[in-house]
Structure 1
Amino acid sequence: METILVSLGSGLLQAFEPLNLFMIFAGCLAGLFVGCMPGLGSVNGVAILLPVTFLVPPTAAIIFLAALYYGAMYGGAISSITLGIPGASTAVATVFDGRPMAQAGKADQALMAAAIASFIGGTVSIILFTLFAPPLAAFALKFGPQEEFALMLLAFATFVGLGGDDIPKTIFSILLGLVLAAVGFDIISGQPRMIFFDMVEFQRGIGFLVLAIGVYGVGEMLWTLESTAGKVQMHSVKITVSRMKQNLLQVKEYINSTWVGSVLGFFVGTLPAAGATPASLMSYGLSKTFSKDPDSFGKGNVSGVAAPEAANNAASTGSMLPMITLGIPGSPTTAILLGGMIIWGLRPGPLLFTESPDFVWGLIGSMYVANFATVILNIALIPVFIRVLAMPFTLLTPIIFTLCVLGVFATTDRMFDTWIMLIIGVAAYLLRKLNYPVAPAVLAIVLGPLAERSMRQSLISSQGDPMTFLERPISLVCILIAVALVSYPMVAKFLKRNKAVEAAE
Structure 2
Amino acid sequence: MDEIGNLLHGFSVALTLPNLGFMLVGITLGVLIGVLPGLGGANGIAILLPLTLSMNPTTAIIMLSCIYWGALFGGAITSILFNIPGEPWSVATTFDGYPMAQQGRAAQALTAAFTSSFVGALFAVVLITFLAPLLAKFAIRFGPAEFFAVQLLTFCSFVGMSKEPPAKVIAAMMLGFALAAVGMDSVTGQLRMTYGYPPLLKGFDFLIAVIGLFGIGEILLTMEEGLAFKGKHAKIDPKVVWSTWKTLPRHWLTFLRSTAIGCWMGITPGGATPASFMSYGIARRMSKEPDSFGKGQIEGVLAPETAAHAAGTSALLPMLTLGIPGSPTAAVLLGGLLIWGLQPGPMLFVEQKDFVWGLIASMYLGNIVGLFVVLTTVPFWAAMLRIPFSVIAPVIVVICAIGAYTVHSSMFDVVLMLVFGVLGYLFKKLRYPLAPLVLALVLGDMAEASFRQSMLISQGSLSIFWSNGLVGGIVGLALVMLCWPLLGTVKSWLQRPPPAAPAEGNAS
**8 Å Cα contact 1:82/1:389 also seen in 2:** no
**SS of corresponding position for 2:462:** coil
Tell me which of 201, 207, 232 is aligned to 2:205.
Answer: 207
Matching residue of 1:470: 466
**8 Å Cα contact 1:34/1:42 also seen in 2:** no
Verify: 1:306 aligned to 2:309, yes or no: yes
**8 Å Cα contact 1:184/1:192 also seen in 2:** yes
CA distance in 1, matches of 2:350, 2:206: 34
**8 Å Cα contact 1:162/1:288 also seen in 2:** no
Give CA-to-partner distance per residue, 1:109-154, whole Å, 9 cap, x none: 877666544433222222346xxx4x65543221111111111111
Matching residue of 1:483: 479
The 3 A distance-change label for structure 1 pair 142 and 194 is: same
Matching residue of 2:216: 218
Across the aligned residues of Structure 1 and Structure 2, the Cα RMSD in angstroms comes to 4.8
Verify: 1:441 aligned to 2:445, yes or no: no
Which amino acid in 1 is paired with 2:262? Answer: T
| Pairwise CA distance, 1:182 | 0.9
| Pairwise CA distance, 1:376 | 1.6
CA distance in 2, matches of 1:467, 1:454: 15
CA distance in 2, matches of 1:489, 1:122: 32
How do 1:178-217 and structure 2 match up within 5 A? Answer: 178-196=177-195, 198-217=196-215
**8 Å Cα contact 1:180/1:206 also seen in 2:** yes
Matching residue of 1:170: 169
Matching residue of 2:259: 255
Give CA-to-partner distance per residue, 1:292-326, whole Å, 9 cap, x none: 969xxxxx965773354222444576589xxxxxx
CA distance in 1, matches of 2:461, 2:156: 23
The 3 A distance-change label for structure 1 pair 25 and 149 is: same
CA distance in 1, matches of 2:184, 2:150: 24
| Pairwise CA distance, 1:231 | 4.3
The 3 A distance-change label for structure 1 pair 442 and 368 is: closer
How do 1:66-81 and structure 2 match up within 5 A? Answer: 66=58, 69-78=61-70
Give CA-to-partner distance per residue, 1:445-484, whole Å, 9 cap, x none: 1221111111111112211111111113222111111122
Tell me which of 222, 234, 238 is aligned to 2:234.
Answer: 238
Rg larger for: 2
CA distance in 2, matches of 1:225, 1:474: 49
CA distance in 2, matches of 1:193, 1:288: 41
Verify: 1:377 aligned to 2:386, yes or no: no
| Pairwise CA distance, 1:238 | 2.9
| Pairwise CA distance, 1:187 | 1.9
Which amino acid in 2 is paired with 1:126? Answer: T
Verify: 1:159 aligned to 2:151, yes or no: no
Give CA-to-partner distance per residue, 1:276-306, whole Å, 9 cap, x none: xxx7x46569959998969xxxxx9657733
**8 Å Cα contact 2:228/2:389 also seen in 1:** yes
CA distance in 1, matches of 2:215, 2:172: 18
Which amino acid in 1 is paired with 2:64? Answer: A
Matching residue of 1:29: 24
CA distance in 2, matches of 1:209, 1:236: 37
Which has the higher mean CA deviation after the structures are superposed, 94-103 or 118-127?
Answer: 94-103
CA distance in 1, matches of 2:412, 2:168: 29
Matching residue of 2:286: none
The 3 A distance-change label for structure 1 pair 167 and 314 is: closer
| Pairwise CA distance, 1:171 | 1.4
Aligned residue-pair number: 423
**8 Å Cα contact 1:122/1:314 also seen in 2:** no
CA distance in 2, matches of 1:221, 1:334: 27
Give CA-to-partner distance per residue, 1:171-214, whole Å, 9 cap, x none: 11111111111111112111111114x22111111122222222
The 3 A distance-change label for structure 1 pair 169 and 258 is: closer
CA distance in 2, matches of 1:387, 1:422: 31
CA distance in 2, matches of 1:206, 1:193: 12
The 3 A distance-change label for structure 1 pair 216 and 23 is: closer
**SS of corresponding position for 1:391:** coil
Matching residue of 2:79: none
CA distance in 2, matches of 1:104, 1:414: 47
Which amino acid in 2 is paired with 1:172? Answer: A
Matching residue of 2:146: 147
CA distance in 2, matches of 1:399, 1:351: 40
CA distance in 2, matches of 1:41, 1:419: 18
**SS of corresponding position for 2:259:** helix
Which amino acid in 2 is paired with 1:225? Answer: M
**8 Å Cα contact 2:50/2:404 also seen in 1:** no
CA distance in 2, matches of 1:148, 1:312: 18
Which amino acid in 1 is paired with 2:202? Answer: R
Q: Percent identity?
A: 23
| Pairwise CA distance, 1:398 | 1.1
| Pairwise CA distance, 1:258 | 3.1
TM-score by length of 1: 0.67
